[in-house]
Amino acid sequence: MAIHTASGQAKCPECFEGMTLTDVMQNELTQCPGCGAELEIATLAPLTLSLAPQEEADWGE
């Protein structure tokens, strides 16, 4: 299985802070250095971010 990663500049969809991402994978989670929002890598080319889902994890354990 090929692993695709990307590096580059992306903007927070919440506060529009620019940040540099290095070797990130699609759907990887990261945190905005500007507003602290939890972000998910939406697409790699171009590199864009979306807000991570805020649902509480419930894995039934």
Least CB distance to Zn ion at residue 13 (A): 8
Q: Which is nearer to Zn ion, 29 or 35 (CB)?
A: 35
Q: Which is nearer to Zn ion, 3 or 16 (CB)?
A: 16
Q: Which is nearer to Zn ion, 17 or 28 (CB)?
A: 17
**Binding interface with Zn ion (CB under 5 A):** 12, 14-15, 17, 32, 34-35, 37
7: tokens are 């590096």
- How many CB atoms lie under 10 A from the CB of residue 49? 21
Which amino acid is present at 42? Answer: A
Tell me the backbone φ, ψ of residue 59, rounded to 5 degrees.
-100, 10
